[in-house]
A and B are shown apart, each in its own frame.
Chain A
Amino acid sequence: MILIISSQGADINSLVDPRFGRSQFFIKVDTDTNHCEVITNSGVNQRGGAGIGAAQIAVDNKAEVVISGNFGPNASSALKAAGITMMTFGQETSTVQDAIDHYKQGKLNSFG
């Protein structure tokens, strides 16, 4: 299964980024291969907002779940259309590692 988490830095200990579309990086976690990848958010802007570009990254990477602080209207409609589950974290989630642990513990909130 593939998770994507919005992150301010390039590794597991980095602080999460509360914004999905404008996040600097995405950390992709593949629980089948146990491989992770750091994806630099190129912030595509062609079709009307960074949210679309970020959603495209999630789709291209075959994400099943995306985790962030919030999803703007463009991102959320694109992700919903693609059948990707959105989850949000709160104040207690500080790092990417936290976000993944909290996801597994069922402590994140559903979005949309």
Chain B
Amino acid sequence: MENAKVLCITVASGKGGTGKTTVATSLALSLASQENVLFLDCDVEAPYGHLFLKPQVEVEKKAVILIPHIDMEKCILCGKCVEVCQFHALAEIGKSIMVFPQLCHGCGSCAWHCSSKAIKEIHNPIGILEAGLTQEGIRFAHGVLTISEPLTTPIIRQLKKWQNAETVSVIIRDAPPGASCSVVETLRGADFALLITEPTPFGLHDLKQVIGILQDMKIPGGVIVNRDGIGDSQVDQFLLQNHIPIMMRIPYSTKIASAISSGNTLLDVSSSYGLEFQALFQRIKKCVMEKEAC
């Protein structure tokens, strides 16, 4: 834990649609009265956590990448910037240096290596960040990628840094689906990963991908089996064989499906979920503080 008082939990899955946002928002609501919760919706391509938590958006900020701007009057066309750029975002064309903003990763290498101080970095907006409070007192923030922009990890990084308040005691990060770099960025710095899966071959396949990431990043994790009962027992068997704890089971029910479809949370289906998530949180807290398996 970066700060002894803050516990950061990332909710991820691998497969899309297993219930990450359902669990993440329900968990946040369950803890709202006892903890100072910060909810970060890191699914910046298609965020919808706000539909469930209904925050009052108070602040907005542009998410930007720093791209190079070359002052051709100072540029001596030495080509160093083109050489150092690993992403082919710079090219020498005729007597000019051209920039490809979409290819730029914002690493700053070109500007640093320019011997004639001809490169300064300027803001290139790629999305927006929004934050606000929910009526339960949860601090909420999300990032929204501008349509047709390619890079997501810079927005997630900026989102994580933006809303770091001192009074927060729990951070819940809702990850995007999949198992690529945006999931890694959402996991980076987390104390625990709560993985939501469904008991089907698709769920198991993609869960294994994310477990691979957790092992590489050395982040402890536990699993919630959602829509329990719809598929087979392979997920259970895999988790048992690999000593990965199943921390909760949520059965498939049309009542839950219908509630979530209409923008309600698990707590609206039954208040017992509130208690279950509080108990789950205590278990996670214990396992992180004592550095033990759950």
Residues of A within 8 A of B (CB): 10-13, 29, 31, 34-38, 97, 100-101, 104
Binds A, one of B87-95, B186-194, B251-259: B87-95
Residues of B within 8 A of A (CB): 70, 72, 87-89, 91, 93-94, 96-103
Q: Which residues of B contact A100 (CB under 8 A)?
A: 93-94
> Chain B interface mostly helix, strand, loop or mixed?
mixed
- The distance in angstroms between the C-alpha atoms of A80 and B72, with both chains bound, is 34
> Chain A interface mostly helix, strand, loop or mixed?
mixed
- The distance in angstroms between the C-alpha atoms of A11 and B97, with both chains bound, is 14
Given A11-B88, A12-B91, A97-B91, residue A34 in contact with residue B100 (CB < 8 A): no
Q: Which residues of B contact A36 (CB under 8 A)?
A: 91, 98-100
A3: min CB distance to chain B, Å: 9
B93 touches A35 (CB 8 A): no
A93: min CB distance to chain B, Å: 14
A34 touches B88 (CB 8 A): no
30 contacts between A and B (CB under 8 A): A10-B103, A11-B89, A11-B91, A11-B100, A12-B88, A12-B91, A12-B93, A12-B98, A13-B88, A29-B93, A29-B98, A31-B94, A34-B70, A34-B72, A34-B97, A34-B99, A35-B98, A35-B99, A35-B100, A35-B101, A36-B98, A36-B99, A37-B100, A37-B102, A38-B100, A97-B91, A100-B93, A100-B94, A101-B94, A104-B94
Query: Given A34-B70, A37-B102, 20 other A-B contacts at CB below 8 A?
Result: A10-B103, A11-B89, A12-B91, A12-B98, A12-B100, A13-B88, A29-B93, A29-B98, A34-B72, A34-B97, A34-B98, A34-B99, A35-B100, A36-B100, A37-B100, A38-B100, A97-B91, A100-B93, A100-B94, A104-B94
